[in-house]
Each structure stands twice: as C-alpha cells, then as structure tokens.
Structure 1
C-alpha cells in the first residue's frame, strides 16, 4: 500500500476503510442466507442488550486499531509495523499478571525479551536506511 500511495497525505483513511467494508458487505452478505437455509450455520441476532454493547465496542476498537495500523504502515514500513504488532504477546502477559495474577516461566520472559529487542533492532535499522 505504501509503495502504491507514496505520501500518506494522499490517502483518505475513513474512505479507504469505508470501501473495504462496502466490498466485504457486498461479497459476503449473500453467504448468510445461503448458509442459514442449508443448515451449515444458523443465523440469529444477539439475544441481550449486553451482547449488543460488547459487539459495538469491539467493532469500534477494531476499526480504530485498523486505522492506526494503516497510518503506521504509511509512516514507517510494513516490517516495523508487523514486528510492532508482535509486542502484543509480552504485553498480554503483563495484562494477565495485573488482571488475573497469572505468571509465566522464565522461558516466556526470555521470548518476550527477544521480541522486544527485535523490535528495537528493526526500528533502529529502518531509521538508518532513511
């Protein structure tokens, strides 16, 4: 995407993601009634207001994260963004420690350190190339 677009100012991200959603709706929506009537997957609306809230919050957070990912891709490089996304692995362990009191072995922490150091290394190397 960055190679085709060049400058990030040329991309209207809300319009871009709007078209992605439109194409997904057009291409995937016919599959719902087909799968429902064939009995492959029964379609039903969420039963409670709480589940609707969870779905809407999750959809909003997913949209914002996708827009941030696309902007990060345009501002840096695909490699830096992909390795940066892998930082969610060590951060999830920290979240588990805070929320659930769960800990992991030293081997997990070594792996998390490798992921973190690889992000720093790739980020440093990409700055050197620019």
Structure 2
C-alpha cells in the first residue's frame, strides 16, 4: 500500500507536467502566475494544506479501514458549524444541527462496527 501512494505522486509529477506544457503551448489552457503576492501566498498555503490533508488521509487509511476514513471526512460538516460560530459568530438553525448530529452519530456507529471485526 505505501508503494501505491508513492507511485501515485511519482506518476503525477512526471506525467502531468508535460501535458500542462503542451496545453499551454497550444493555447488550449494558458497558465500564468497570480497578479499579486497575496494571491500567490494564498495559493501556496492552500497547496500545503491540501498536501498535509492528503498525507494524513493516506496515513489514516493505513491505520484504519477505508470506510472509517471516508465517513470520518464527513465530520467536516459538524466541525464547520462549530467553526462558523467561533470565528464568525453566526448561528445555524436547528435543522443544520440535526444533520450534523446525524453525521456525527453515523461516524460513531461505523467506527464502533469497525472495532468488532
């Protein structure tokens, strides 16, 4: 399994860039740098965040089952509600909280079922 994840990155690095260069040179898709440094910083931070997220996802796949990891990704729904309250001070309706509770409960059920195997 670690070989698979390593080869995915290797193949993307060496096979994706030539395609992007061809697309740029033919004019089908032009690539250019962002106009300001702030946008460039946002792109870099977003790329690093995505990289860390993918590494942690792959590591979680090795430690648990694919089902638990995939359902665990849905925990972003309840966490985004909490972050919305803490950061922006916006409160959601009871229906949103009900949906978040269902998502959280489903994660607990799937995680509990995974321990029994």
Q: TM-score, normalising length from structure 1?
A: 0.76
Q: Among 15, 36, 42, which residue is 2:24 paired with?
A: 36
2:70 matches 1:82: yes
Superposition map of 1:78-117 within 5 A: 78-117=66-105
Equivalent in the alignment of 1:8: none
**Secondary structure of residue in 1 paired with 2:33:** coil
1:47 is displaced (CA, Å) by: 2.3
Superposition map of 1:20-35 within 5 A: 20-35=8-23
1:37 is displaced (CA, Å) by: 4.4
CA distance in 2, matches of 1:111, 1:103: 14
Higher relative contact order (CA 8 A, sep 6+): 1
CA distance in 2, matches of 1:102, 1:40: 42
Deviation per residue, 1:41-67 (Å, 9 max, x gap): 321112222222222222222111111
RMSD: 2.2
Gaps in structure 2 of 5+ consecutive residues:
none
**Secondary structure of residue in 1 paired with 2:48:** helix
Equivalent in the alignment of 2:49: 61
Gaps in structure 1 of 5+ consecutive residues:
6-10
Number of corresponding residues:
117
